[in-house]
Amino acid sequence: MKLIGIVGTNSDHSTNRQLLQYMQQYFSKEAEIEVCEIKDLPAFNEPADKVAPATVQELSNKISAADGVIISTPEYDHSIPAVLKSAIEWLSYTTRPLIDKPVMIVGASHGSLGTSRAQGHLRQILDAPELKARLMPSAEFLLGHSLTAFDDNGQLVFPEKVQELEECFEEFRDFVTINNELVKNHQAKAELNRQFSWELDANGGQN
């Protein structure tokens, strides 16, 4: 199974990056996880031709080729970082690779609550008509006190969180397998979703 892990921040020192790198190593026998950065993507600026910049297209291609996506988001002011929202806006406005793509959301924060509000907002965003990601239901991995969660070798030191992450990841692998089996015969519907536009009504006319 090939998965893409997206670091949902432009911070040079992020425990969300550490979390994805830990998952990449810890679950290496179960899946190949490529950790991808978004910090070098340009800020979203609606292109008249709806063509993605090269860096966005590269990320889009990796998402399309993967069996599933893991997004690790911090929580800034009770929501996701602007850089993550910008990256998602590029994808939703141009290539739309997340349609029918299985997505697992995880998050790490310095406080005790993890990233519960940010994850809730991210679920709402990814359910938008231009995105239509397949979100793993009833599962959140919230890593609080993340500054003390990893040792010098990048290993997660909270045993209860290791067990929780194992269970969540096992569920996600099953979710990816089941989801991809369900959608493989509905490519026409997926392509129709990619053509969605708020500027067109159901009959193809302008609103």
- Tens digit of pLDDT at every position of the chain (207 positions): 999 999 999 999 999 999 999 999 999 999 999 999 999 999 999 988 889 999 999 999 999 999 999 999 999 999 999 999 999 999 999 999 999 999 999 999 998 878 999 999 999 999 999 999 999 988 889 999 999 999 999 999 999 999 999 999 999 999 999 999 988 877 656 666 667 776 664 444 444
Contacts with 15 (C-beta within 8 Å, 6 or more apart), sequence order: 108, 109, 110, 143, 146, 147, 149, 150
Q: How far is CA 17 from the centre of its chain?
A: 13
Domain ranges of the chain: 2-194
* Residue range 2-194, CATH number: 3.40.50.360
User: Residue 29 has what pLDDT?
Assistant: 97
The CA distance from 40 to 207, in Å, is: 36
User: Residue 139 has what pLDDT?
Assistant: 83
Structure tokens at 157: 């030191």
Number of Cα atoms under 13 Å in the Cβ half of residue 148: 5
User: Residue 101 has what pLDDT?
Assistant: 97
For 131, the enclosing helix (H) or strand (E) is none
User: Residue 23 has what pLDDT?
Assistant: 98
Q: Which residues pair with 76 in a beta bridge?
A: 79
Structure tokens at 174: 């099953």
Straight-line distance from the first to the last Cα atom of the chain, in angstroms, rounded to the nearest whole number? 42
User: Does the pTM exceed 0.85?
Assistant: yes
User: Residue 130 has what pLDDT?
Assistant: 92
- Contact indicator for 147, 15 with CB cutoff of 8 Å: yes
